[in-house]
Copies of this chain bind each other. A is one copy, B any other.
């Protein structure tokens, strides 16, 4: 049984292919009377007609695919939310995501961008699993492109990233509002927008609360469980009643460290994480109060902006960085301090 083409539908309906095409798609220039349109549609459906994306794409000059190049979907799993957001938003416009993860290899990345161009994608989104500056990707076509969860050092493309400063503020505010005044900050040793942005937010809020900045409350560790575990001693010695951790994994390590010393959370120490890495944060004892990364929204906004650029021919060339809010997630790891 051969595949049903538009031709078959047209013949069955006793009209030309042109009429069939206009009937099935709502072309605004060529209005077809409802009677014909419905008849053709009914016949198309009864024959089991399925449009042929390749034929369509060939004449339109573009497929209905949107390229999504990322360094690694799988490794840092919670970043998969970016894809989810992008997929949902793309879906709403009838577009499909063509995802390639490159494993961070530049050769793969170049090939990936070339393949996207070959596929005649509508545009390309370039995304990373953690927020960072990147070398400008070598987009292989003149199609629109933008960066999500990263930004190119030369500032040639629009970018959408989490607002690290606001995130740092949110975390610190949670502790301040609970009455804490001696708030340690366990930062990461890896230079990144997160490292500087969250610290900046922390400082801002302290200043606004008129708490003098005390650099002995700031420590730098590897951003994982081991880092948190090892810094616990210093943390206790510092006299802090609360700690803002660079991320949930560090917080998890500190949980371990405190428990090993017989200290309780939040009784002896209030803890705030960052990232809202569900597998961890929601299931620690007690559940961890943290700040989420707006991954889903990054994806949604990325596609939305990309499609907007696709549609406006008169390219609004204002290349800008959009910062998206990081929401505080309140659970059980902060104690209200009596003042």
Residue ranges of A at the interface with B (Cβ–Cβ < 8 Å): 50-55, 57-58, 63, 65, 73-75, 77-78, 80-81, 83-84, 87, 96-101, 114-115, 117-120, 140, 224-226, 229, 249, 252-253, 256, 259, 277, 279-280, 283-285
Considering the complex, give the chain B residue whose CB is closest to the CB of A296: B74
Given that A50-B117, A53-B118 are contacting pairs, would A87 and B58 also be in contact in the complex, using a CB cutoff of 8 Å? no
- Other 20 A-B pairs with CB < 8 A, given A73-B84, A96-B100: A50-B114, A52-B118, A53-B119, A54-B57, A58-B58, A73-B73, A74-B77, A77-B78, A77-B80, A96-B98, A96-B115, A96-B119, A224-B283, A225-B284, A226-B283, A249-B279, A253-B283, A259-B259, A279-B280, A280-B280
Q: How far is the CA of A63 from the CA of B99 in the complex (A)?
A: 16
Instruction: Tell me whether A140 and B57 are in contact in the complex, defined as CB-CB below 8 angstroms, given that A226-B283, A249-B283 are known contacts.
Output: no
Task: Give 8 closest A-B pairs by Cβ, nearest first.
Answer: A77-B77, A74-B80, A225-B283, A54-B57, A53-B118, A54-B58, A74-B84, A53-B119
A120 and B283 form a contact (CB under 8 A): no
Distance to closest chain B CB from A137 (angstroms): 17
**Residues of chain B contacted by A51 (CB below 8 angstroms):** 118
Q: How far is the CB of A114 from chain B (nearest CB, A)?
A: 7
How many angstroms between the C-alpha atoms of A78 and B300 in the bound complex?
23
- A96 / chain B contacts, CB cutoff of 8 Å: 98, 100, 115, 119
Q: Which of A115, A279, A284 has the most B CB atoms < 10 Å from its CB?
A: A279
Q: How far is the CA of A277 from the CA of B78 in the complex (A)?
A: 13
- What chain B residues lie within 8 Å of A117 (beta carbons)? 50
Q: Determine how close the nearest CB of chain B comes to the CB of A70; give it in whole angstroms.
A: 11
How close is A115's CB to chain B, nearest CB, in angstroms? 6
In this complex, which of A54, A73, A224 has the most chain B Cβ atoms within 10 angstroms of its Cβ?
A54
Residues of B within 8 A of A259 (CB): 259
**What is the distance, in angstroms, from A35's C-beta to the closest C-beta of chain B?**
27
A140 CB contacts on chain B under 8 angstroms = 50
Residue among A63, A114, A224, A284 facing the most chain B CB atoms (10 A cut-off): A63
Interchain CB contact under 8 A, B101 and A99: no
Asked, given contacts A117-B50, A285-B256, whether A83 binds B77 with beta carbons under 8 Å apart, the answer is: no
B249 near A50 with CB under 8 A, answer no
Given contacts A280-B279, A283-B225, contact A101 B84 (CB under 8 A): yes
A55 and B58 form a contact (CB under 8 A): yes
Q: When the two chains form their complex, are residues A98 and B101 in contact, meaning their CB atoms are under 8 A apart?
A: no
By a CB distance below 8 angstroms, the chain B residues around A74 are: 77-78, 80-81, 83-84
Q: Which residue of B lies closest to A140 (CB)?
A: B50
B118/A50 in contact, CB under 8 A:
yes
